[in-house]
Structure 1
Amino acid sequence: MQYNIQLPDNFETCDIKTLLEERWLVPRKVRHFLRTKKNILVNGESRSFHELVDAGDEITLHFDASDYPDYEVTLGDASKVEVIYEDEYLIIVNKPIKMKTHPNQPDEKDALLNHVASYLAPQGLLPYVVHRLDMETSGLILFAKNPFILPILGRMLEQKNIKRSYQAVIDGQLNKDSLSVNKKIGRDRHDRRKRRIDERTGKIAVTHFTTVKRENRYSLVNCELDTGRTHQIRVHLQSLGHPIVGDPLYNPRSQAGRLMLHAYKLNFIHPLTNEHISCESKPFDFIM
């Protein structure tokens, strides 16, 4: 497995160690392999980790079969994949409702991961999950197209360098046009499917809400995540007394035909090309 990456024109000169560790966020284990096996080349030549690289240089990274574990996924249906953005390193697709992000059992083949694997099969590639959406939630999901960039994108997500925006229809109206919720979330002891506010033992969760439209008994709100806890937006809105319309777990009396939550925007700086990637998925038609 080999990757050839040309440093962009706006690249700021640094040494190879800084490039791998700070710019590309390559994990320590992978950096160690590259250094000890001399599997990194600059313009076709082996270089010390302390030597400088400049804009326009071509970086070649070679990985042995032992550098990454084997990975298999059952192929699904490529026709079910709606591609929003794709390059040689990553792919962003639009997930429909009622579809899992990834299978829970080895023989499942109707999750989004299965379908993206089928789409990428002609390229000789497999998708790697960077983040997920609940089965009931629609919208944009980012997949890595190789195991090298997967931890880089994962680290970017942890460091909040990938901005995810959602839209939701909620019962009632928030008491402010913009507000932030910082409430810890933990498991619900009485229902294993659910999460709840748990300030004592829960994990930190921060969501920012902005009202876009108010109409009758409902509101359309934008939601932005600082953290990525399971059911975070759903639990935080329920805690405010304004659950999402159509939420079968946190607003079971609501009848909307689906959970009215959609991941409509992804923004980040591409870790290898420095390009600004901004993708939008047209929100579903909100019935207010």
Structure 2
Amino acid sequence: MAPLGAFFISSCYNRNMTFTIHITNPYDSCTVKELLENHLLIPRKIRHFLRIKKHVLINDQDINWQSMVNKGDKVQLTFDQEDYPQKSIPFGNAALVDCLYQDQHLIVVNKPEGMKTHGNEPNEMALLNHVSAYTGQTCYVIHRLDMETSGAVMFAKNPFILPILNRLLENKDISREYWALVSGKFEPKQQVFRDKIGRDRHDRRKRVVDKRNGQAALTSVTRLKAYPKTSLVKCQLATGRTHQIRVHLSHHGHAILGDPLYSRIPYKRLMLHAHKLSFTHPLTLEKISVEAPSPTFESGLK
């Protein structure tokens, strides 16, 4: 898929870490204040800096906060070190990144199983470090996958887009479809699991179904294919609890093959894969959908 940025959005950085965002406004007519506050989710402090520094241009013209921005107008926002202080992390190995989609603001990559999404220690190398090396700039995690899980995962490429993508995730506007190979015959074909999930008091690594103290969790599961002793299922999340798919499937008698925590069935890998990620691009309103291949997952189907 070709990058969208050349047609709709762009950004550029200079040596002082000032960066400028160019957007062709995709939204209905609104004031500058409404655009920055309600659509672009720019924090109040940074909106104040933009206003007093006159760092907002509409169609290359200075504006006031009540100026109207119409659909198709060119919006230019300039941020500096005071707005977004520079953050840096150690760069990893760019060659380890399988890029599925990227533009000037975000990137979706295909995480291999056995790699952490982000490190627990400052100098620990993980996918975030490799993606930052690939893009040449510090990136930010939008959502994560368990280390044993493979598939599509999204990162922000600058602090401007970070709260916008976070809101998409919180509003369930980023659709994540997982495939899992589970034990047994999955019947009926479609099921919705609503069991609350909490921490396991006996094993800090694990989560359990906890009807009293757990957090709400909803997983929709559809059987894609039946095998003699296993089933390939598609899972879609309405919530994002830790180990949610793994806990729900295991609790209902369909543990994922190769799960080191919730299954007694050994396998060459955890058979859980983030197959597809779909969303509406917040700066262009274009529908984006990417699929992540996984030879190790596909070879394990039976």
Question: Is 1:80 equivalent to 2:92 in the alignment?
Answer: no
* 3-state DSSP of counterpart to 1:31: helix
TM superposition shift of 1:77:
0.8
Matched, 1:280 2:297: no
How far the C-alpha of 1:218 sits from its partner, in A, is: 0.4
**Residue of structure 1 in register with 2:5 after alignment:** none
Paired residues, number: 282
Q: Deviations over 1:67-100 (max 9, x none)?
A: 2243221111111000000101111100001000
The residue aligned with 1:233 is 245
Q: Deviations along 1:26-78, whole A, 9 cap, x unmatched?
A: 34444344334432221222322322112332111122212224322111111
CA contact (8 A) 1:76 1:116 kept: yes
Amino acid at match of 1:228: G
| TM-score (normalizing by structure 2) | 0.88
Residue 268 (structure 1) aligns with:
279
Task: Please tell me whether residue 115 in structure 1 is matched to residue 127 in structure 2.
Answer: no
1:243 aligned partner = 255
Task: Give 1:185 shift.
Answer: 1.1
> C-alpha separation between the residues in 2 aligned to 1:57 and 1:20?
14
Q: Kindly indicate whether the alpha-carbon contact (under 8 Å) linking 1:7 and 1:54 is maintained by their aligned counterparts in 2.
A: no
Q: 2:109 aligns with which of 76, 93, 99?
A: 93
Q: Distance in 1 between matches of 2:244 and 2:173?
A: 19
Cα deviations by residue, 1:104-125 (Å, 9 ceiling, x for unpaired): 111222x11111111122xxx2
Unaligned runs of 5+ residues in structure 2 are: 1-17
| Amino acid in the other structure paired with 1:281 | A
Mapped partners of 1:33, 1:239: distance in 2: 51
Q: Distance in 1 between matches of 2:39 and 2:277?
A: 20
The root-mean-square deviation of aligned C-alpha atoms, in Å, is 1.6
Aligned to 2:147, the other structure's residue is in SS state coil
After superposition, what is the alpha-carbon deviation per residue over 1:107-155, rounded to whole angstroms, capped at 9, x for unaligned? Answer: 222x11111111122xxx2211111000000001101000110111011
CA distance in 2, matches of 1:2, 1:127: 15
Counterpart of 1:204 (choices 210, 213, 216) is 216
Runs of 4+ in 1 over 6 A off after TM superposition: none
What is the alpha-carbon distance in structure 2 between the residues aligned to residue 76 and residue 90 of structure 1?
18
Contact 1:2 1:60 in 2 (8 A): no
**Separation in 1, partners of 2:100, 2:60:** 34
Structure 1 Cα separation of the partners of residues 42 and 193 of structure 2: 32
Cα distance change on mapping 1:66 and 1:82 into 2, 3 Å: same
CA distance in 2, matches of 1:228, 1:81: 24
1:48 is aligned to 2:64: yes
Q: Secondary structure at the match of 2:72?
A: coil
Counterpart selection for 1:186 from 198, 203, 222: 198
- Residue 162 of structure 1: how far off its partner (Å): 0.6
TM-score normalised according to structure 1 size = 0.92
Q: 1:166 to 1:147 in 2, by over 3 A?
A: same
Listed as ranges, the gaps of 5+ residues in structure 1 are none
- Partner residue of 1:139? 151
**Same amino acid, percent of matched pairs:** 51
* SS of structure 2 residue aligned to 1:65: coil
